[in-house]
A and B are shown apart, each in its own frame.
Chain A
Amino acid sequence: MVAGAGTDLRALSRRVRRHVVEMVNGAQSGHIGGSLSATDILAVLYGRIMRHDPQRPDWPERDRFIMSKGHCTPVQYAILAENGYLPVEELATFRKKGTRLQGHSVLGKPAGVENSAGALGMGLSFGLGIRLGMRLNQTDAHVYVLMGDGEQDEGQVWEAAMAAAHHEVDHFVAIIDRNGIQNDDFTAAQMRTEPLDEKYRAFGWEVRAGIDGHDHEAIEEALAWARDVRGKPALVIFDTVKGKGVSFMENNPGFHGAAPNAEQFALAMQELAD
């Protein structure tokens, strides 16, 4: 079952982007840029690709989404809310006292969050472990792991890449949100990691790169391909724009982890209006 089948992805993505901006504005903290760059990918995953059921978040046969770049909780909580895992109104509690919706992902808070994250570099390993366990259980569900491009600097990512190929793990899909920016600056300035596609291929992965991470059809096509790769792990590298959807945030390293001021917030909501 795909919970979001039939959803209008354009409208959904727009709503999710508005939630993201409202949440970060409401908390006056949080990671807006990498949430907006990943919005369309998550919309397609939850709406078209993943087998999941918000009524049964513990269903052993569910596909798992692992948010490895655990600072991008705004988009994760928003997509979960739009899919019925939590009330949309609860998004307003993001990062506030007493909330379930912490700044970085905490397993089980809310149901649908499958891992604890925030320290970059661990999600691919955690997802790999899940898939190995599922394989032992003869469960044919898939594991999707979303990573950042800056996150590729972490050595553990490459340990996991090596091990996934060594163990011939399939039903295992890594996704890189290649928005070209990390915390302080452009990724090209912080640490050159390219060519990522050739590196993963050399590690034994099937790879598709250069996919437009804001084109819903292209995203769906690439993820459907990755889901069906057998005998190997699969990676899709999406070219995205950090801050996508809000003109002054787009491709702006200043909006990695900064909240908008009142004027910026009003402008952003105007740009994201239907």
Chain B
Amino acid sequence: MTTTLPSAATREALGPTLVRMQQEGADIVVVDADLGKSTSARTFRDVFPERFFSFGVAEQNMISAAGGLATTGHTVVASTFAVFAEHAFDQLRMSVAQPRLNVKIVASHGGVSTGEDGASAQSVEDYALFSSLVNFTVCVPADVVEAQAMVEAAIATPGPWYIRTGRPKIPVIYTDGPRFEVGKANMLRDGSDVTIVACGLLVGRSLDAAEVLERAGISVRVLNMGTIRPLDVAALEAAARDTGAIVVAEEHLTHSGLGAMCAQAIAASTQPVPMEFVGVNDRYGESGTWDEVLEIMGLTAEGVEQAVRRVVARKR
């Protein structure tokens, strides 16, 4: 079924969306660290060269300068790869987060689906870092349609944002258009036995798992938690109440990612329920095609399905 859907990489949304918004009257400035072709930010330079600044391969300078630029009234978009955004963590903290400046980090090649480049290029910890920064909104799109909606929302909303996009072409989920609203989970299918909470490319894989499970008699709710920060705690509490078990699936370290954040919210809720976690388990990546690396990590529909079976077995 997935093969009949159109596919696109979430990173493809950035440049064209920025160009259109600038043409429609936004005040966008893009700063780049020599990866604009891959992140698609360079599309913006082609149309608005005076609003595009190359910082060379120097992410720390780029991020602090982005903060300064934002104080002059512009909406600043900084683009690089997720692992290289991590290179400027203190600058993100001091020059963007603490003074709450209007800088959007849209970083591509998030997660292990970067594939062949191997461990150094695979960000298994990026949104843990960004989620640790006060004042940041943190988003992970499930497909290119949602990625575009997230970029639009980021430009329209003052304050620091992090959007993690991905390298591989993945199936479009929102074929009828985006449903993105910051801080709100999307229920993509309802069910009564268990809820899968996913983000990024695990959303599509969770929908595939849900279909298999449904046929096996397990009724599954799937939530796309496109916003990691602020987390949609109400949707999580409803999932716990309505389905009694939760699986969190993500392309990131489980101990510091969406899984950990959901577990914190559920533990503090009035109705804690059994949870299982699908994600990167305390390790770095390795080379391979993107779907091979996901398979090595267990980030597949089958991996999600097994986690669902485990959590359902733990229900009283």
User: Which A residues are within 8 Å of any B CB, using their own CB?
Assistant: 60, 66, 106-108, 114-119, 121-123, 125-134, 136-137, 139, 155-156, 159-160, 162-163, 166-167
Contact = CB atoms under 8 A, between A and B. Distances in A.
Interface string B57-73: 01011111111111111
A162 B69 contact: no
**Lowest 9 CB-CB distances: which A-B pairs, in order?**
A129-B68, A133-B72, A129-B65, A125-B64, A159-B61, A129-B69, A107-B99, A159-B58, A126-B68
Contact of A125 (B70, B93, B95): B95
Main secondary structure of the interface of B (DSSP, over half): helix
Given A162-B56, A163-B56, A133 B69 contact: yes
B61 A133 contact: no
A226 B61 CA distance: 23
Given A115-B68, A132-B53, 20 more contacts: A108-B99, A116-B95, A121-B60, A128-B68, A129-B66, A129-B71, A130-B68, A130-B69, A132-B29, A133-B68, A134-B72, A136-B29, A139-B72, A155-B60, A156-B64, A160-B64, A162-B56, A162-B58, A163-B61, A163-B65
Contacts, number: 108
B94 A116 contact: yes
A213 to B, nearest CB: 25
Interface in B35-67: 50-51, 53-56, 58, 60-67
Interface residues on B, range: 20 to 34
Contacts of B56: 159, 162-163, 166
B35 to A, nearest CB: 16
Contacts of B63: 125
A117 B98 contact: no
A122 B94 contact: yes
Contact of B94 (A108, A119, A131, A160): A119
Contact of B55 (A66, A118, A163): A163
Given A127-B68, A162-B56, A133 B73 contact: yes
Contacts of A108: 99
A116 B99 contact: yes
B26 to A, nearest CB: 14
Interface centre among A114, A122, A160 (most CB of B within 10 A): A122
Nearest to B88: A156
A60 B29 CA distance: 18
Contacts of A116: 94-95, 98-99
A136 B61 contact: no
Nearest to B66: A129
Contacts of A130: 68-69, 71-72
B295 interface: no
A41 to B, nearest CB: 21
Contacts of B71: 107, 114, 129-130, 133
Contact of B29 (A107, A119, A133): A133
Contact of A106 (B69, B72, B74, B98): B98
Contacts of B148: none
Nearest to A122: B64
B108 interface: no
B55 A117 contact: no
Given A133-B72, A167-B53, A125 B29 contact: no
A122 B58 contact: no
Contacts of B90: 119, 122
A132 B65 contact: yes
B91 A137 contact: no
B94 A125 contact: no
Contacts of B69: 129-130, 132-133
Given A132-B65, A136-B51, A125 B60 contact: yes
A123 B64 CA distance: 8
B245 to A, nearest CB: 44
